[in-house]
Amino acid sequence: MKGISFIVPLIILLLLVSVLSAFFAFQSNIIIKKREFQNKILILGDRIESIGNIIRQSSDLATIQAIYDAGSFNLAIDNDIKYNDNENLPYWDNEINEYMKKSILKISEIYFYNYEKEFEKYFNDLNNKNKNNYWKVYWEKDIKIEKFNEDEISINFGTFNITYSDDQIKISKKYPILSHVKTNFVKMLNYANENYHKFKDENLDASMKSEDFTVKIEPRSDYVKVSIKEISKRKLYIIEKKTQNYDSITLNFVIDKSKCFCPTMYCTGGCWYGSSGPFECPGSCSPKGENVKNLKNIKNCGEIYILSNIDHSCEIFQTN
């Protein structure tokens, strides 16, 4: 009996130890799974936040490149401005300011579209690699200019929605896409308007110098080519070289030196250009030149014209 009295408590003790061990093992397993779940959320959150920051940076890059290509007239959109067919540059008129807003908006949209497609490809590759469809991205496009002043050009591209969803977790975040580009470009446009007649007379004096940009005038027989260039340089895609390099945002245009003449003193009829004529037209005389569609040695890429005879692919300038 004494042996039995010893064994019973021992069995109870062993059962108690077994139950406690199972309980603590269960608790440990829960803690491990909880930590794994928390780590998964942190990793997913970090990935979404990192991509969101890259997307916002991409909007700045798209805007900077658009300002560069629009101002230099590497690229153009449909417009009523008249172009010099020797330089493939526009004759300066009052419409250029408004045209620049439309051109920068459209070109930046096209460049950001290319970035957006790369983000889509990145998440599609993640889904294909893991044989699931957990990641979804969507660009809610709503493009408009927020700021167009002498200190900054800012474009609102809408929002970018990133979502991860599986049988345990759903994380979704919308990123407002708003570019902020510090540039003197609008100041350069205003400068061109204010000094139009000095450019035309090739009168570049000390009063026309600026700490923010340089001005170069190149006289031709019947027109003047003007380049206003920011002093600061940025890394940009150079279309003519098909590579990235450092260059400055530039405003290029030409000014007609020849005079316009009317067949009557009231200028009720058409006008023509020449070295002499009976009645000189007022400033409202339509400028000579070609529509962008009629320029030689250019390439049409749908909504975009490449104003150069280089053999450049249209792929990055198309959105379908």
Least confident of 33-47, 64-78, 106-120, 121-135: 33-47
Identify the band that residue 187 occupies on the pLDDT scale cut at 50, 70 and 90. Answer: very high
Task: Extract the tokens encoding 258.
Answer: 């020849």
Stretch 196-214: mean pLDDT:
72
Strands, E, within 36-168: which ranges? 75-76, 83-84, 89-90, 135-148, 152-165
The residue to which tokens 């400055």 are assigned:
248
Residue 57 to residues 101, 115, 153, 232, 249: CA-CA distances in angstroms? 21, 10, 15, 19, 19
pLDDT digits (tens, 9 = 90+) for 189-201: 999 988 887 887 7
Q: How confident is the model at residue 259 (pLDDT cuts 50, 70, 90)?
A: confident
- pLDDT over threshold 70, residue 16: no
Q: Model pTM greater than 0.85?
A: no
